[in-house]
Structure 1
Amino acid sequence: MIEWNDDQVALRDGLSRWNDALSSGHVEGDAAGTFHWDKWKLIRETGILGLPFGARWDGLDQDLLTTMYVLEGLGEGCRDGGLNFSVTTSLASVGVPLQKFGRPELRDRFLPRICSGESIGAHAITEADGGSDALKMRTRAERDGDHFVLHGAKTFVSNGPIADLIMVYARSHPEGGALGVTAFLLERDTPGLSVGGPIHKMGLRTSPLSEIFLDGCRVPAANVVGRVGGGFLVLDHVMKREILFSFIVNAGEMAHRLRRCVEYARTRIQFGKPIGANQQIANKIVDMKIRLETARKWLYDTAVELERGQDVTAGIAIAKLLTSQANLDSGLDAVQIFGGNGYMAEYGLEKDLRNAVAGTIYSGTNEIQYNRIASTLGL
């Protein structure tokens, strides 16, 4: 078990002063399905967007585990799941690959804007025809002197409608397979780039999602992140941290939900006794606790292995599978524990359940994670 030091605890506890404001109107915000810029201003004030980035770019220079620990606190304290998702998306989509693979001039120009929240990041990977099969990517990038010209379209771009910076993955070598994809950093006003309107969705409604369209979009070759043809190396680095960031937030959300259910089971009286005295209810809550602790352990243990440079292919997939399913199951259990109240929008539990469904799909569907684990077993 990790023992957090006083500085790490203080960093996480420092978020608590913003919890009420960040959570304010979360049910109404979900119903409206709109991104709240006033809450993003609060997020900027917290400093959380600079957690994993170097001090030279005005970041907090925290290691992976500390970053996750504070993000878990965000999940526990902020009831706006869509806002939480937009935070981790901005961190992972642009900031993480820039710091690792970006040219010095790119890092110096854009990382301070990601750290401060002045710019919001998004990444554009998925295409309508390809889905989880990124090797079927059709978006192409053709070299033209000191530029690349991009043609194609991407879908399911989280933060798309609000993003200032978009990491776009495009095929620069038609016959190159996994070695034929390149990562490009695009600013929103890049000629030839257009962003579709927000797409309505089941959950995470305050985190906007859209398509983007690339029609002869000219991108300076200096905006290549990593090397030409090395896009999948960039993507692999990003996806590991995206999973750890977003799903440790889910662990925080599960911890908050567990506390709500314990309190409700102690105080809700039915047939002359608290509902928690019924073994069926108590067992559901115990299962919620077990799932939470199992998910947390896998996430943090995998992060430790990643920091040590170990192969975490299976660990990341297992952590993603366990946490997404645990979040979904605990969300359903919470609705059932609260009964009719849980089904009502005002309690926020049905919203949490809808949000949890997304976790089984984004960052590689759970079915894909099974395939990855199977491959590590030689199957």
Structure 2
Amino acid sequence: MDFGWNDEQLAKYEQTLSDVRVAFPFEDTARSADHYRREDWLRLGKLGLLGLSVPARYGGGGLGALDTARQVEALGRGCAETGLVFGASAHLFACAMPLVTFGSDASREELLPGMCTGELIAGNAITEADAGSDVSRLAVTARRTSGGWLLSGEKSFVSNGPAADVYVTYATTDPNAGHFGTTGFVVRRDTPGLTVGDAMEKMGLSQCPAGTLRFDDCFVPDAGTLGEPGQGGVIFQHSMGWERACLFAGYLGLMDRVIDQCVEHVRTRRQFGRRLSDFQAVSHRIAEMKLRAESARLLLYRACWEMDQGSPATLSVALSKLAVSEAALSSALDAVRIFGGRGYQRADRIESALRDAVPSVLFSGTSDIQREIITRELGI
């Protein structure tokens, strides 16, 4: 079993990390709580980070899941604006990848090149007020009409929603068919009948705007359908495989960055005439942070490797998502404790790492949902 990266992969990681640090300098704290700007998005596109796993024919990098995750990891380590990292990942894994596999030829040709360059921002519209984890009972409906579908209802917590140019969404087309009664769609922002809500106030991931979408007999042509009618549940789970594995590589990067900060802090900070690193309670806390990060990293890499082998990887992806999100949250809290009062201030971005880690145990399926998947895969 090979645990090493080849020279090309190592060089690509280091180059991406360096490019991201230049493009999004850590010292730029003044706007850390603001939403990202179009120029930020275009910068990500120029670095090739918005189309990593999209086929080259559409302007993407053509990478597999494992190499894609490694680049997202570099992005998460180099960019302290985790909301931007999250928004870019949601754009790629929850929107671009369903288009790659299930979109019509017309939709792929029209949208994917712009999504890779950053000219287009995509929003993932699945969550509803009464349908968070249970996406088999969507209140948004789509009914057949001449040449397409009419969508009606409201989506909430649409990542990138207020800024997006295009949305991937799901609606109930057959209420009696359960998981086979949902269909996926691609909808442009300027479509009549679509109303985009304002950005909501959030605890973390503040750079990524999220809001509501309202569909009022919003017409989507047949070319805007993802896959076949009734295939929405399968398409959504396919996108979740990419998201739960590759998106969370950004949190591996966050953990690496925070561990680096903690190591530097305890080496230079003195209390009671001694370096903080000389206190076992402090140094052992960092050892636990490193243990969590490396354990989660191996699970994530294995999940991505299985995906590249064509395996469903359901168990590995659930284990990976659970491990990475819980590790990020625990380690961010440990970092606040290590930094003490400074950790509660904004300058070092430690408190923002904690706020950004909290939603990781909620989105893409809560930690409890991942445990349910794991027990189901074990036959319990």
Q: TM-score range by the shorter chain?
A: over 0.9
The match for 2:206 is 205
The residue type equivalent to 1:75 in the other structure is: G
The residue type equivalent to 1:34 in the other structure is: H
Alignment of 1:265-304 (within 5 A): 265-304=266-305
Superposed displacement of residue 214, structure 1: 0.4
The residue type equivalent to 1:29 in the other structure is: R
The match for 1:310 is 311
2:296 alignment partner, SS class: helix
The residue type equivalent to 1:77 in the other structure is: G
The match for 1:28 is 30
The match for 1:375 is 376
Asked whether the 8 Å contact 2:166–2:186 carries over to 1, the reply is yes
Distance 2:148 2:345 in 1: 53
Alpha-carbon RMSD across the aligned residues, in angstroms, is 1.3
Alignment of 1:78-97 (within 5 A): 78-97=79-98
Alignment of 1:238-257 (within 5 A): 238-257=239-258
Distance 1:51 1:308 in 2: 18
Distance 1:282 1:10 in 2: 31
The match for 1:43 is 44
Distance 1:353 1:172 in 2: 40
2:157 alignment partner, SS class: strand
Distance 2:46 2:270 in 1: 42
Alignment of 1:187-226 (within 5 A): 187-226=188-227
Superposed displacement of residue 288, structure 1: 0.5
The match for 1:347 is 348
The match for 2:122 is 121
Asked whether the 8 Å contact 2:125–2:167 carries over to 1, the reply is yes
The match for 1:182 is 183
Amino-acid identity (%): 39
The match for 2:72 is 71
The residue type equivalent to 2:283 in the other structure is: A
Asked whether the 8 Å contact 2:174–2:182 carries over to 1, the reply is yes
Asked whether the 8 Å contact 1:150–1:216 carries over to 2, the reply is yes
Asked whether the 8 Å contact 1:94–1:165 carries over to 2, the reply is no
Q: 14-23 or 336-345: which moved more?
A: 14-23
Superposed displacement of residue 25, structure 1: 5.9
2:30 alignment partner, SS class: helix
2:183 alignment partner, SS class: strand
The residue type equivalent to 1:81 in the other structure is: T
Asked whether the 8 Å contact 1:243–1:316 carries over to 2, the reply is yes
The residue type equivalent to 2:174 in the other structure is: H
Instruction: Extract unaligned runs of 5+ from structure 2.
Output: none
The residue type equivalent to 2:210 in the other structure is: L
The match for 2:142 is 141
Asked whether the 8 Å contact 2:93–2:247 carries over to 1, the reply is no
Superposed displacement of residue 254, structure 1: 0.4
Instruction: Extract unaligned runs of 5+ from structure 1.
Output: none
The residue type equivalent to 2:350 in the other structure is: L
1:175 alignment partner, SS class: coil
Superposed displacement of residue 26, structure 1: 5.3
1:321 alignment partner, SS class: helix
Superposed displacement of residue 24, structure 1: 4.9
The match for 2:328 is 327
Q: 241-250 or 204-213: which moved more?
A: 241-250
Q: Which has the higher helix share?
A: 1
The match for 2:173 is 172
The match for 2:154 is 153
Q: 55-64 or 186-195: which moved more?
A: 55-64
The residue type equivalent to 1:283 in the other structure is: H
The match for 2:59 is 58
What is the CA deviation profile of residues 245-284 of structure 1, one whole-angstrom value per residue up to 9, with x for unaligned ones? Answer: 2210100110111111111111111112111111100110
